[in-house]
Amino acid sequence: MSLMLIADDHQSLLNILSSAAKKEGFEVATAMDGQEALELFDQLHPQIVLLDVMMPKMDGFQVCREIRRQWDTPVIMITARGEDFEKIMGLDIGADDYIVKPFSPGEVMARVRAVLRRAGRESADSKRLTVEDLTINLEDYTVTIGGEPVRLTKREVDLLWTLVENRTRAFTRDHLLDLLWGMDYYGDPRTVDSHIKRLRAKLDEIPHPRWQIATIRGVGYKFEVNHEG
């Protein structure tokens, strides 16, 4: 079982994030200041770290710098402030992503999954996903529909996985950019539309009447299953 280290000086937030992480199958260690977080990291070597920026004794940026001296463990920074300079500072010192409060626990766990996928640290049993006749395998980045292979790029596979894995929700373009391209991407959000268009075209080469990537007007995109199809 993967271990997540969560560091924040607010006990209520620690409790919320710990509960969400445990539901995702993580073991959890918690710290309420930066010094304790770094000590726990050295002792436990977790698979991923959630770091609040503003903490007593040592702030999240300092902790991230110390971790990056020896380790490439994924680090997600959490802060109540969202100024661009903080985002840039956090990413420049080696953070993998950046989340601004307030947020939902579900959003944080989606970011965790995306960062772990990019880092290649998800366990083998969590790298295969099947819905209806669609199967996605992140072990070898293959996609099949009814057993027939679909040739997709790595980015297209990641995009499809994100939509299918979170099929109860719709994603905005900006959210997909954050999850798949990372917070340090400052390109045109319409790049998501281009990727969706190419992904649909490739998937549509094989009939799949029971599901689709739907456009949600005014929101973005969502994977939908038609149980009557």
Give the three-state DSSP class for 74: coil
The domains located in the chain, with CATH, are: 3-119 (3.40.50.2300), 127-225 (1.10.10.10)
pLDDT band at 133 (very low <50, low <70, confident <90, very high): very high
Q: What is the pLDDT of residue 229?
A: 46
Can you tell me the mean pLDDT for 122-132?
70
Per-residue pLDDT tens over the stretch 138-166: 888 899 999 999 999 988 998 999 899 88
Comparing 20-34, 111-125, 148-162, 166-180, the range with the smallest average pLDDT is 111-125
Q: Crossing angle, helix 34-44 and helix 60-68, to 10 degrees?
A: 30
Q: What is the pLDDT of residue 184?
A: 47
Q: What is the pLDDT of residue 144?
A: 96
Residue 172: φ, ψ to 5° = -75, 165
- Does this model's pTM top 0.75? no
Per-residue pLDDT tens over the stretch 63-122: 998 888 878 888 998 887 665 556 655 566 778 888 888 888 888 888 888 888 777 655
Give the three-state DSSP class for 13: helix
DSSP annotation of 56 reads: S
